[in-house]
């Protein structure tokens, strides 16, 4: 603690505690999961999926083109008839079965998620995988109760849902998309992100083991072109997309002339606001959890920190002290807090913003960490002396980079917090109840965490205001995007 910004010399350092990689069985090559079978892509093209912590190749992933996507949509369309006519309680039972089987194989999924995406095993083991299973379990129960969700309405499924998910929570996002779609009687064509396809493909295997009828869920792997083929396919009734605001806008435009429904869960630049009457130590934890969770690869990350001026010095000191105890490195080590950046491209983006932050005059702090030689790494980073007009305070970085600003009054911080095109999430820290409710009602964001941050639950609706997208995932409100009246 006394040493200034110097790596402490390890009186009692944690020995490596690696999770066993062997539990994650990964095939050397994966095809496309269409109509209940893994098949080779039409053009026979494959691309590698690598471990971002070692840059070692994990597997070869099929690249789906328009013809493959067409096959998948047709399979989903064919399956829609019998799946939507299946009694709702039976549909629900399939989902229950899926949830349980994910729980049974949780450790295997966690290991693969960490190998493929670079997130710490602690997070994939304690957060991603249990939440994914819980999501299926929650929506399983809705399948035969849908008419209670919409007063005075009779919900019907929409048809075939095209779903495109990001690389930051691969299995969890698949669960967020697939579970409510199936519960409401739709069938699905899902495209995982190209850097993190593996757990979705393992999920496909699990669907087969569960006896899910062929074609109910189809998984097409590939990059942007595959996604575009899915979005533009005429046989799709609905697009659900989670990803960047830029791509979200392209999708919104692409389907403008069609009757396709859509939900978009896009970027964010959340304000996390600390008042002088906050529980400071818990707030510091909330800041850390808000921005360094999952390497900051979180659309709702609390990337803009607003600290009341009277406690700025104290908060920054505690924050610096705290992030020195974060362990950065091997994601498979059970003691790792911050894992690998998901890809080289993302690392370059983050580094660009860190450079911009310095150039624009903000003051950087990074604890010294012994980063591995191979792989993609960024230490937990914070910037002080940031003002509202700095690029790092306006644009989504999607990395472990925090921009700290100060404020004086409630009115000022509400105005600053809302001064962004985004509106996904926000955080408020104060011990005063009436102030919390003032803030939580005035912040224009879909999720507001008061005296906590980055909490997720299947029963809790999630989604954005403004350019952070529309539609909700999770909870009762998460069913609406998958039904029509």
Partner 1 sequence: MTQRKISGIPATSPRIDQVGVEERCARFTSRSIKSTTKMQGLHMVLSMIDLTTLEGADTEGKIRQMCYKASHPHESIKGLPATAAVCVYPTMVGVAKKALQGTGVNVASVSTAFPSGQGPTEVKLADTKLALDFGADEIDMVISRGRFLQGEEQFVYDEIAMIKELCGKKARLKVILETGELGTLDRVRRASDIAIAAGADFIKTSTGKISPAATMPVTLVMLEAIRDHYFSTGEMVGMKPAGGISSAKSALHYLVMVKETLGEEWLNKDWFRFGASRLANDVIMQIAKQTTGNYQSGDYFSKD
Partner 2 sequence: MARLEVLKTYKIFIGGKFPRTESGRYYSPRDKKGNLLANVCLCSRKDLRESVVAARSAFGGWSTRSAFNRSQILYRIAEMMEGRRTQFIDELIKQGATASAAKKEVDLAVDRLVYYSGWCDKFQQVFSSVNPVNSSHFNFSVPEPTGVVGLLADEKTSLAGLVSGIAALVAGGNTVIALASESKPLCAVTFSEVIATSDVPGGVINILTGSKKELLEHFGSHMDINAVVYQGNSNEELSQLRSLASNNVKRISSYDKDWMDTAQQDPYFIMDAQEIKTTWHPIENIGSEGSGY
Smaller CB distance to partner 2: residue 65 or 431? 431
- For the bound state, the minimum distance from the C-beta of residue 132 to partner 2, rounded and expressed in Å, comes to 14
Gap between the Cα atoms of 470 and 261, Å rounded: 11
* CB environment 64-94: b (16+ within 10 A), e (fewer): bbeebbbbbbbbbbebbeebbebebeebbbb
153 scored as a contact of partner 2 (CB under 8 A): yes
Task: Check residue 93 and report its DSSP letter.
Answer: H
- For the bound state, the minimum distance from the C-beta of residue 236 to partner 1, rounded and expressed in Å, comes to 41
Smaller CB distance to partner 2: residue 191 or 466? 466
Gap between the Cα atoms of 285 and 474, Å rounded: 25
Task: Check residue 462 and report its DSSP letter.
Answer: B
Smaller CB distance to partner 2: residue 85 or 249? 249
- For the bound state, the minimum distance from the C-beta of residue 471 to partner 1, rounded and expressed in Å, comes to 30
Catalytic residue among 19, 113, 194, 265: 265
Gap between the Cα atoms of 246 and 264, Å rounded: 11
239 scored as a contact of partner 2 (CB under 8 A): no
Q: Which stretch binds partner 2 (CB under 8 A): 99-107, 155-163, 328-336, 467-475?
A: 467-475
63 among known catalytic residues? no
Q: Per CB under 8 A, which of residues 6..45 are in contact with partner 2?
A: none
Q: Which stretches of the chain bind partner 1, using CB under 8 A?
A: 1-2, 8, 10-17, 122, 126, 277-282, 285-286, 314, 317-318, 325, 334-335, 431, 451-452
455 scored as a contact of partner 2 (CB under 8 A): yes
Q: In the numeric block, which tokens belong to residue 381?
A: 């980073």
**Which pairs count as long-range contacts for 384-392, CB under 8 Å and 24+ apart, including other chains?**
384/316, 385/361, 386/357, 386/362, 388/416, 388/419, 390/357, 390/360, 390/361, 390/362, 391/353, 391/356, 391/357, 391/360, 392/353, 392/356, 392/357, 392/360, 392/362
Burial of 2 (0-12, 13-18, 19+ CB in 10 A): exposed
475 scored as a contact of partner 2 (CB under 8 A): yes
60 binds, among partner 1, partner 2, none (CB under 5 to 8 A by kind): none
351 binds, among partner 2, partner 1, none (CB under 5 to 8 A by kind): none
Smaller CB distance to partner 1: residue 106 or 356? 106
72 scored as a contact of partner 2 (CB under 8 A): no
Strands 46-50 and 37-39: unpaired
299 among known catalytic residues? yes
Residues marked as catalytic: 265, 299
Binding interface with partner 2 (CB under 8 A)? 134, 151-153, 245, 248-250, 252-253, 255-257, 264, 266, 421, 436, 440-442, 444-452, 455, 457, 459-463, 465-470, 472, 475-477, 485
């Amino acid at each position: 603690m006394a040493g200034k910004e110097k790596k402490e010399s390890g009186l009692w350092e944690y020995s490596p505690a690696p999770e066993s990689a062997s539990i994650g069985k990964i095939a050397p090559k994966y095809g496309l999961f269409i109509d209940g079978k893994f098949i080779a892509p039409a053009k026979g093209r494959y691309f590698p999926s690598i471990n971002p912590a070692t840059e070692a190749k994990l597997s070869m992933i099929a690249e789906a083109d328009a013809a493959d996507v067409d096959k998948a949509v047709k399979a989903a369309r064919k399956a829609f008839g019998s799946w939507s006519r299946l009694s709702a309680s039976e549909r629900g039972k399939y989902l229950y079965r899926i949830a349980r089987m994910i729980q049974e194989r949780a450790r295997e999924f966690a290991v693969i998620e960490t190998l493929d995406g670079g997130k710490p095993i602690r997070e994939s083991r304690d957060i991603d995988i249990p939440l994914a299973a819980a999501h299926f379990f929650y929506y399983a129960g809705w399948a035969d109760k849908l008419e209670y969700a919409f007063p005075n309405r009779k919900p019907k499924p929409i048809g075939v849902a095209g779903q495109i998910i990001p690389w930051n929570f691969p299995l969890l996002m698949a669960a967020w998309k697939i579970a409510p779609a199936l519960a409401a009687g739709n069938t699905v064509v899902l495209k995982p992100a190209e850097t993190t396809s593996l757990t979705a493909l393992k999920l496909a295997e699990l669907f087969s083991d569960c006896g899910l009828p062929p074609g109910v869920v189809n998984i097409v792997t590939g990059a942007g072109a595959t996604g575009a083929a899915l979005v533009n396919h005429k046989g799709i009734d609905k697009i659900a997309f989670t990803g960047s605001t830029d791509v979200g806008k392209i999708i919104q435009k692409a389907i403008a002339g069609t009757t396709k429904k859509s939900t978009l869960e896009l970027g964010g630049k959340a304000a996390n606001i600390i008042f002088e009457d906050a529980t400071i130590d818990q707030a510091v934890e909330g800041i850390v959890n808000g921005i360094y969770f999952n390497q900051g690869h979180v659309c709702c990350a609390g990337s803009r920190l607003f600290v009341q001026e009277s406690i700025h010095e104290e908060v920054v000191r505690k924050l610096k002290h705290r992030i020195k105890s974060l362990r950065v490195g091997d994601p498979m080590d059970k003691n790792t807090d911050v894992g690998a950046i998901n890809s080289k491209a993302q690392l370059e983006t983050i580094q660009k913003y860190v450079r911009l932050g310095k150039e624009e005059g903000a003051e950087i702090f990074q604890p010294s960490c012994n980063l591995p030689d191979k792989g993609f790494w960024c230490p937990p980073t914070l910037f002080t002396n940031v003002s509202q007009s700095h690029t790092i305070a306006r644009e989504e970085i999607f990395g472990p980079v925090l921009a700290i600003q100060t404020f004086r009054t409630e009115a000022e911080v509400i105005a600053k917090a809302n001064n962004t095109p985004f509106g996904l999430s926000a955080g408020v820290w104060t011990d005063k109840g009436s102030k919390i409710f003032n803030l939580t009602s005035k912040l224009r964001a879909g999720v507001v965490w008061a005296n906590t941050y980055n909490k997720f639950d299947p029963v809790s609706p999630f989604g954005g205001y403004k350019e952070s997208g529309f539609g909700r995932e999770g909870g009762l409100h998460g069913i609406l995007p998958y039904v029509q009246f």
